[in-house]
Structure 1
Amino acid sequence: MLGWCRMLVKRSLIDAGGNWKHVVRFLQSVDQSSDLVETSAGNMQIATGRHHTLLISNSSVYSCGSSICGVLGQGSETTQCVAFTRINFPSLSHVVHVSASHNHAAFVMQSGEVFTCGDNSSFCCGHRDTGRPIFRPRLVEALKGVPCKQVVAGLSFTVFLTRQGHVYTCGTNTHGQLGHGDTVDRPTPTIVEMPEVVGSVVQIAAGPSYALAVTDDGTVYSFGSGSNFCLGHGEQHNELRPRAIQTFRRKGIHVVRVSAGDEHVVALDSCGFVYTWGKGYCGALGYGDEIDKTTPELLSILKSHLAVQVCASKRKTFVLVDTGTVYGFGWMGFGSLGFLDRGPSDKVMIPQILDSLRPYHISQISTGLYHTVVVTNRGRIFGFGDNERAQLGHDTLREGLKPTEIFLQETASEAGLVSGSG
């Protein structure tokens, strides 16, 4: 940790003319951007799934959108929430981290306990009961006594990061995405054996069928499906165990954060530089073309900016810089890239500032399949893109090309809950 802090300070001092306040803000922003962010309205975290959104606000969790397989955690009677609605937890512990995926969700409590809900037919929720979806958050019993600090939901699998820097996985393992050296599914979280020289893991990320782990010495390990070159090794072979990405090692690059998209990956290093690799379709890598990158490459067009968060999803990428400005590139995806002057299927080939967000200082951004949600430093929430299933927290809006503010429902009785058997 000290190593990358020194490099951050050096880069920040050069760019900021010795302004220590700037350095401190930068360090805090990098540390918070992927987890809880401090806003003037309290601590918040936003997480977008395929057709839904989850939000932590002051230790409570809210959900909106489609409740397929129980991903909203609102009970079997709810098929949709048309406004952000509080999720009731069986524990008194405060929620400090949340992850959303296509068919399940995971929550980390202040105590380190993990709760999950959604479709557990693939064991991705970490429970042996696969007979029916889990409609309300349930404690992952197998991790009792193993406090966690982060959890990420992939497609039918889950990765857990403990406070001691160990990684556990469960769920589908067709491509080796669980990292255990085989393709055998795991019904409950099982520890991943990392190479002996590895330090503590400090951050994890998961794509549809692959996973990434960043260690405290700045090394990135990848495992699972090698399709689209997302593992960063220059080939498309599956990796059944964690394997270090050598490009970063050879160049002495200390990575601090990664974001795993459907077909590409974005990384942030200790100097605030951004790297991308994987499938270049629609300009998602930001190099002005659609050429695949088999190993990580520096996105030099953003080299003059201090990036503090990177966010990848389906053929699109966002980069948040320390000034609170957001850059986007890739596929517009029904307006989810946020450019008001582009069509719903257009491509943005190089990073461009989202003018629609210029009036706000953005603290965090998360993007799903066709929608994107941001949190400002004042605790305001804005969403844009597809809202066909109320994933932007509005009942009548169908497509929000312009960022629309989202509000919370304090009690379930006030919320627009839609019930049904489907």
Structure 2
Amino acid sequence: DNISRDEPTLITALSGKNIIQICAGSTYSATISACGELYTWGRGNYGRLGHGSSEDQCYPSLVTALKGHRIVDVACGSGDAQTLAVTDTGAVYSWGDGDYGKLGRGGNDGCKVPKLIEKLMGQDVIKVYCGAQFSLALTKSGTVFSWGKGDNFRLGHGCEEHIRHPKQMESLGGRKVRSLAIGSMHCVAVLEDGEVYCWGKNDQGQLGDESHANVTEPILLPGLDKKHIVGAACGPTQSFFWSSSDQWSVGPRSPFITDVNKATFEHIDELLCEVCDGMDGR
């Protein structure tokens, strides 16, 4: 149905499916079962659900075009959305809106069923990410590929050109990336050695730089050296990091320390006002 809910409600259509991963886009959702099946539901425009049409789906529905493939990761976009999925063989499929080449097959054509991104064949991709009109992929060897809309330097290639095929981020200088996090127009990369690199739009201080200047290529994030960062998460214009602690005094129930740059909170009043406006229906 289309009824909003103010408390968690069981999705009965997924009962017994043994769900291991879930992902939410702006107006739709996707989930992966333990046996590698992909289910999607929500708003269907641009074919983002992968069922061959633009119809909305009120209940989780199996993406039958991927039958025979074991899906291990999925990413959902926002706005004019794209969807990406990774198989256990490292292949990447994309579908949905194709503006700016964010589906990775050249041109701007969209598609309503999953199609292979041939340029990533043989790269052994393990994770995919969707930002605002752009996409990223991380390989088993720690290499990053990016493609799609390039303004505000969100692709990390040092230019604002739109790139319609996956392109390796040579600007990382061969450093091995452990994980990525992606906002609307900025990205952060956590390296194997715990260093953090960031790039893209910085108008809200989301890159931890008080200058608020956009960053054209990945740069080392100051202030997090020797923090042993192991993971990151991004909101549309926010960034968060957590570190593994070797301080036994922290205790078994608090294994992580969070570092948040003060610039993150510069617009907290504006954020709270927007949230309050939304809560009273305005």
TM-score normalised to structure 2 length? 0.88
- Where do 1:234-313 residues align within 5 Å? 234-248=158-172, 250=173, 252-313=174-235
For 2:104, the equivalent position in structure 1 comes to 179
- The alpha-carbon deviation at position 180 of structure 1 amounts to 0.6
Structure 2: how far apart are the matches of 1:332 and 1:121?
35
- Where do 1:91-110 residues align within 5 Å? 92-110=16-34
Unaligned stretches of 5+ in structure 2? 246-255
Amino acid at match of 2:153: F
Give 3-state SS (helix, strand or coil) of 2:65's partner: helix
Structure 2: how far apart are the matches of 1:326 and 1:89?
37
Structure 2: how far apart are the matches of 1:245 and 1:90?
38
Change (3 A) 1:388 1:309: farther
- Where do 1:280-359 residues align within 5 Å? 280-323=202-245, 324-329=256-261, 330-332=263-265, 343-345=268-270
Amino acid at match of 2:118: E
Structure 1: how far apart are the matches of 2:61 and 2:171?
40
For 1:142, the equivalent position in structure 2 comes to 65
Structure having the higher strand fraction is 1
For 2:154, the equivalent position in structure 1 comes to 230
For 1:87, the equivalent position in structure 2 comes to 11
Unaligned stretches of 5+ in structure 1? 1-74, 335-342, 346-369, 372-384, 390-397, 400-422
Structure 2: how far apart are the matches of 1:130 and 1:278?
32
For 1:202, the equivalent position in structure 2 comes to 126
Q: How many residues align?
A: 266
TM-score normalised to structure 1 length? 0.60
- The alpha-carbon deviation at position 195 of structure 1 amounts to 5.1
CA contact 1:316–1:332 (8 Å) conserved in 2:
no
CA contact 2:91–2:120 (8 Å) conserved in 1:
no
Structure 2: how far apart are the matches of 1:158 and 1:193?
16
- The alpha-carbon deviation at position 304 of structure 1 amounts to 1.2
Structure 2: how far apart are the matches of 1:143 and 1:333?
44
- The alpha-carbon deviation at position 129 of structure 1 amounts to 2.9
Structure 1: how far apart are the matches of 2:82 and 2:277?
26
CA contact 2:48–2:97 (8 Å) conserved in 1:
yes
For 2:251, the equivalent position in structure 1 comes to none
Structure 1: how far apart are the matches of 2:50 and 2:6?
28
Give 3-state SS (helix, strand or coil) of 1:275's partner: strand
CA contact 2:83–2:94 (8 Å) conserved in 1:
yes
Amino acid at match of 1:258: L
Structure 2: how far apart are the matches of 1:146 and 1:269?
30
CA contact 1:204–1:258 (8 Å) conserved in 2:
no
- Residue-by-residue CA offset, 1:82-117 (whole Å, 9 max, x unaligned): 111111225632111111111111101111000111
If asked which structure has higher relative contact order (CA below 8 Å, sep 6+), I would say: 1
Give 3-state SS (helix, strand or coil) of 2:112's partner: strand
For 1:128, the equivalent position in structure 2 comes to 52
